[in-house]
Amino acid sequence: MKKLFLGLFAALAALTLVGCRKTPAKSDSKVFHIMAWNEEFKGFFEKYVCDERAKFVEAAEKKDDSLKPKEYHYDGKLVKWTIVPSEGGQYQKSLDQHLKANETASDDEKVDMFLAEADYILKYSNSKYTTPIKDLGVYNLSNTYEYTSQVASDSKGVVKGVSFQCCPAGVIYRRSIAKAVFGTDDPAKVQEKISNWDKFNAVAADMKAKGYYMTSSFAETYRAFSNNVTQPWVNDDLKLQFDPQIEAWMAQAENFIKNEYTLTAGIWEDGCTNEMFATGKTFCWFGPAWYYNFCMGNAQDETKGCFGDWAVCEGPAYYYWGGTWLMGAAGGNDDYLVGKCMNSFINDKDVCKALVKNEGQFSNNQKANKEVAAEYEKEGTGNAFLGGQNDTKFYLDLAKRIQIKGMTIYDQYCNEGLQKAFGEFLKGAVATKADAIANFKTQLHIDCPEIVFE
Amino acid sequence: MDNIKSIRKVESNDTEPKKRIQKGVSYAKWGYIFIIPFFLVYLAFTLYPQIKTFIFSFQKYFESGLNVFGPKWNNFGNYVALFTKSENGVVMIVKAFTNTMIMWLMGAVFQFLISLVLAVFFTSSRLRLKATGFFKAVFYMPNLIMASAFAFLFYALFNTVGPINQLAQMMGWADKPIDFISTYPWSTRTLVATMNFILWFGNTTILLMAGIMGIDESLFESARMDGASSNRVFFDITLPLLKPILVYVLITSLIGGLQMYDVPYLLTKGGGEPNFSTMTIVMLLNKYLSANNYGMAGAVAVVLFVITGGLSFLVFRMIRRKDD
Amino acid sequence: MESNNYQLIDRKADQAAKVKLTIERTLVYIFLVFLTIICLFFFYLLFVNATRSHAEIQSGFTLIPSKHFFENFQKMWNLSGMAPVRKGLRNSFIIASISSVLTTYFSALTAYGVYAYNFKGKKFVETFILLIMMIPSQVSSVGFLEMCNEMHWTNQYWVLIVPGIAAPATFFYMIQHLRATLPLDLVEASRMDGSSEFMTFNRIVLPIMKPALAVQLIFSFVASWNNLYLPTLLITKTELKTLPTMLALLRSADFANMDNGLIYMVIFISIFPVMLVYLFLSRAIIKGVTSGSVKG
């Protein structure tokens, strides 16, 4: 069997060689080592691509954990996970240690593949510790969405990572409140009302007049602004700069708080999510498809929630939120397996369709998404949480329009730092906007001493 | 060095006579052998890192992204930077020191007052309290919980949708949720001080009790014979005689207080909010450490070392002068 | 009995004094009970929340226990993935017990070495250890972490255990205890019996130090058991992680997987062993807190 495999592989390698492509060689290491900060991807990996996937699915179907494989293999190699939580920067710290030691580490310890988020992916794609995906055997990106490659490209435009999800995001709103205020809850008509920021801000005033909040966190709209910046946070001279989009967000947040269009809670705080109960007075949240299950537990609560009273529309700006990129670690043993895994999650239509259908994901394969959307359309099944709206179809177009510019390795510090410091101003913990920005710079200077200010 | 000697004076007055007996034993090499493990481990895992820290504090040495800058000699550059006003017009290390002292004092005042009172109660032959063992055990208990678990509970109680706010709204004391944790500097500081108080007052009580019990009982007896009120006994006998121990406990508490870290860190999720008003020296150190800035973290550590040493020295000098 | 000294006329005053004492006592008890409630409240809250489901905890606050204790316990017990709590319990136990034994034993040994032998520099050694006791541990942590990173000392328990051999505070406690309890004649006598120095320490001195050893054993066990800082930074392998690290992991779980009932249960289970030991040994511990640190 093994010989047959090797033979097949040789033939395959020969074939690709004819195509003048550099295919990574198979190694004799025994372990395929993946690093991640949580278990989301691990679940998908075990269910859809690893050698034991059939067994895994069987165990899940029979709801019998004892049937679950004890170990998982990928192309015959034992899959090993190192999971470190991202809280407090632990994941990156641990990952950095591993990557720097990767060349000299023992076979078992070498990291082959790791996961990264958009906020800090540039740190890795711009380094020598990641392998260009074409050297891993990933050549076909035609099915993917463009922004997912933009995010994972280094400064020279070489793509270093592949996202297994696509996360176009929109405005998720309460149908009942839309009806009460606009007289309609139809996504197309609601979109009309909030299609740009001026309209959005005007609607906020209407909401307030009727006793509602527009949003329930001052930072709710942040990503819709920050995704559309035209200049990076830090320029080539390492100077910090505020993009007009960021300025616009600050102005909006200040205005919203002053007029009580929103609350001072952070987007992850209970003060914000408690508004999702049926008793909540908040019109909308900003989020992608994963937001429903990940953050809207209160809305889905059986007794206190308001399942089905929701819908999604584009909102005032195109943006995305989240996504997890797979990257190949330089010095790893199993580049060919990294490539194989990446290909499965972007080019294997069955896997991608399963992600959409079973996992509530929006995949990074346009064809798969389209087919599922069409199936839903044909069956007339939509998303019950969204009152039957076919959101898969809705996200199809949105995803193609997202463009990303001006990313830097400092984005995570800047985005999180500004939200936190500015939030203190809005809460009244800091007297003026200037003080808040000064605090933001102070913290940034501790985190990244090389950045200079005016 | 001086302060250390004086600690010993306070601690171990009873060692002098025994020294004479010791002279009979002369197996000196065993003394060395027995302390070797301690010192080897100390050298490798404490002193060597400490020297490293000290050296880093004079170097530009940090990581940004995956790139390492330095180590490169920077003379006093880190210290200058540390004592330079930040973007927000504040010298962060001074702010951190002030915060630390304020929060320590807020807790310590109550901690010492109440512990002193409790210690007097527990040792009072007049009150003859029952079940003191139970009370002592209970008061000491919080000291054994993980600070993180404790902070988690406090957070659950005091956040904007927590029970305290629910109660306040139900009772009509507040029409909007009050953000106890991250908006008002004094509210957050009070929470930190309260937590420190609950964690430590039992410990202080027990230490002070031991001190009181160490006082010659006959002194109390004769005072009572003379018809002294319990207040007089406390101020004229207990307190003066308790002073050495009180000072010792105070100093240990101060040194512990200067290293305050986990409680404010966990309550504010590392930020030291609001407006950096609960950021302690060690939290600042940790901010630099988590930014992989070994140079600046080293400088903060050295400053902390100097402050700790200086403060204990000062307090001892002060006490001794009064004694003279 | 004191009343014998009083004359009959003073009986009324005596009576009044008694009433006053009773009132005072009552007030003192009320104060003590109040503090007791404060101290126990947190433990109770913890217990109550460990009996409630995530949904119940999210829906509000109560002081009445619910019925999900065993469900939470089972969930906790069967956790696998990134926070296998059962393994965490085992790991924490291994690290805490070995390091507390080492800390206690070597501190006693060092203290005995300094106390019982006259050697050159003996005074200096003691002063030196007292001096380093004053140095905040954070001062070395900067260099220590850098050293561990450089030497790739990650995922190795010994890095968390061995440094405990040099514990200045424990040393200080031990030497105070020795001064109070160990007459050197005893050492001399044992020597006459032909016992080697090392044997004398193990067979004669250690048993005498039992109470001090017990107290320090527990203190260092608790310190190591609760330690979050270094294990988080130095242990990255899931199967090697300690309980506090896993607790932090569970708390940082994403919203969809967040289970507060489970988290409270893990806190409960991590405090439980310490509390159990404390229940039996509280008397000794309280005695110990004082005997080593203050000798007036």
Assess whether the previous peptide bond of B274 is cis (omega < 30° from 0). yes
Is the domain of A218 the same as that of A157?
A: no
**pLDDT exceeds 90 at position A305:** no
Interval C175-198: pLDDT, tens: 878 887 788 888 888 888 888 888
Percent of chain A surpassing pLDDT 90? 40
Please state which of the ranges B40-44, B209-213, C7-11 shows the lowest mean pLDDT: C7-11
Interval A361-373: pLDDT, tens: 889 999 999 999 9
Residue B72 lies in a domain: no
Percent of chain B surpassing pLDDT 70? 88
Q: What's the domain count of chain B? A: 1
Span A186-203, average pLDDT:
92
Tell me the ipTM for this assembly. Answer: 0.82
Determine whether the interchain pair A297/C238 forms a contact, defined as Cβ–Cβ distance below 8 Å. no
Which pLDDT value is given to residue C2?
Answer: 47
Query: Average pLDDT over chain A, rounded to whole?
Result: 86
**pLDDT exceeds 90 at position A437:** yes
Interval B4-33: pLDDT, tens: 333 333 444 444 444 444 444 467 888 888
- In three-state form (DSSP H/G/I as H, E/B as E, the rest C), the secondary structure along chain C is CHHHHCCHHHHHHHHHHHHHHHHHHHHHHHHHHHHHHHHHHHHHHHHHHHCCCHHHHHCCCCCCCCCCHHHHHHHHHHCCCCCCHHHHHHHHHHHHHHHHHHHHHHHHHHHHHHHHCCCCCHHHHHHHHHHHHCCCHHHHHHHHHHHHHHHCCCCCHHHHHHHHHCCHHHHHHHHHHHHHHCCHHHHHHHHHCCCCHHHHHHHHHHHHCHHHHHHHHHHHHHHHHHCCHHHHHHCCCHHHCCHHHHHHHHHCCCHHHCCHHHHHHHHHHHHHHHHHHHHHHHHHHHHHHHHHHCCC
**pLDDT exceeds 50 at position A298:** yes
Interval A219-276: pLDDT, tens: 999 999 998 898 999 998 999 999 999 999 999 999 999 999 998 888 888 788 888 9
- Structure token digits, residue B97: 């020191």
Domain boundaries, chain C: 2-50, 78-293
Domain containing residue A158: CATH number: 3.40.190.10
Strand, helix or coil for residue A328? strand
Q: Looking at CA atoms only, how far is residue C81 from chain B in angstroms? A: 22
Span C87-93, average pLDDT:
92
Distance, CA of A121 to CA of A114 (rounded, Å):
11
The strand pairing partners of A313, in sequence order, are A171
Closest listed residue to residue A400, CA positions, set A164, A168, A142: A168
Distance, CA of C126 to CA of A328 (rounded, Å):
55
Span B229-247, average pLDDT:
83
The answer for B 91-110 residues in CB contact with A (under 8 A) is 92
Query: Average pLDDT over chain C, rounded to whole?
Result: 83
Residue type, A152: A
Residue B187 lies in a domain: yes
Span C141-151, average pLDDT:
83
Determine whether the interchain pair B163/C140 forms a contact, defined as Cβ–Cβ distance below 8 Å. no
Which pLDDT value is given to residue A3?
Answer: 52
Determine whether the interchain pair A446/B288 forms a contact, defined as Cβ–Cβ distance below 8 Å. yes
Chains with at least 3 CB pairs less than 8 angstroms from chain C: A, B
Domain C78-293 sits in CATH 1.10.3720.10? yes
Among B65, B177, B287, select the one facing A123 at the smallest CB separation.
B65
* Residue span of the structural domain in which A330 resides: 16-164+322-370
- In three-state form (DSSP H/G/I as H, E/B as E, the rest C), the secondary structure along B165-191 is HHHHHHCCCCCCCCCCCCCCHHHHHHH
- Residue pairs spanning A and B at CB distance below 8 A: 91
Q: Looking at CA atoms only, how far is residue A68 from chain C in angstroms? A: 12
Distance, CA of C245 to CA of C228 (rounded, Å):
6
Task: Please list every residue in chain A whose beta carbon sits closer than 8 Å to the beta carbon of residue B89.
Answer: 438
**pLDDT exceeds 70 at position A4:** no
Interval A390-423: pLDDT, tens: 888 889 888 888 888 888 888 888 998 999 999 9
Outline where A232-348 has alpha helix (H). 244-258, 270-273, 290-295, 335-347
Q: Which residue has the higher pLDDT, B247 or A147?
A: A147
**pLDDT exceeds 60 at position A9:** no
**pLDDT exceeds 70 at position B233:** yes
Residue B301 lies in a domain: no
Q: How confident is the model at residue B280 (pLDDT cuts 50, 70, 90)?
A: very high
A277 close to A305: Cβ distance less than 8 angstroms: yes
Is the domain of A269 the same as that of A239?
A: yes
Is the domain of A103 the same as that of A128?
A: yes
Domain containing residue B244: CATH number: 1.10.3720.10
Q: How many CA atoms lie within 13 A of A129 on its CB side?
A: 23
* Residue span of the structural domain in which B162 resides: 90-290
Residue type, C130: L
Q: How confident is the model at residue A94 (pLDDT cuts 50, 70, 90)?
A: confident
The answer for C 131-160 residues in CB contact with B (under 8 A) is 131-132, 134-147
Span B89-114, average pLDDT:
93
Determine whether the interchain pair A294/C154 forms a contact, defined as Cβ–Cβ distance below 8 Å. no
Q: What's the domain count of chain A? A: 2
Does C252 touch chain A if contact means CB atoms closer than 8 Å?
Answer: yes
Residue B27 lies in a domain: no
Residue B139 lies in a domain: yes
Determine whether the interchain pair C290/B210 forms a contact, defined as Cβ–Cβ distance below 8 Å. yes
Percent of chain A surpassing pLDDT 70? 94
Closest listed residue to residue A288, CA positions, set A312, A252, A253: A312
- Structure token digits, residue A333: 């043993």
Q: How confident is the model at residue B318 (pLDDT cuts 50, 70, 90)?
A: low
Span A337-347, average pLDDT:
91
Q: Which residue has the higher pLDDT, C169 or A112?
A: A112
Residue B121 lies in a domain: yes
Residue A117 lies in a domain: yes
Task: Please list every residue in chain A whose beta carbon sits closer than 8 Å to the beta carbon of residue B284.
Answer: 446
Residue A375 lies in a domain: no
Determine whether the interchain pair A301/C233 forms a contact, defined as Cβ–Cβ distance below 8 Å. no
Q: Rounded to the nearest 5°, which phi and psi values hold at A225?
A: -85, -50
Residue A249 lies in a domain: yes
Q: Looking at CA atoms only, how far is residue B267 from chain C in angstroms? A: 14
Span C149-173, average pLDDT:
87
Task: Please list every residue in chain A whose beta carbon sits closer than 8 Å to the beta carbon of residue B80.
Answer: none
Determine whether the interchain pair A86/C252 forms a contact, defined as Cβ–Cβ distance below 8 Å. yes
Residue B210 lies in a domain: yes
Is the domain of A358 the same as that of A417?
A: no
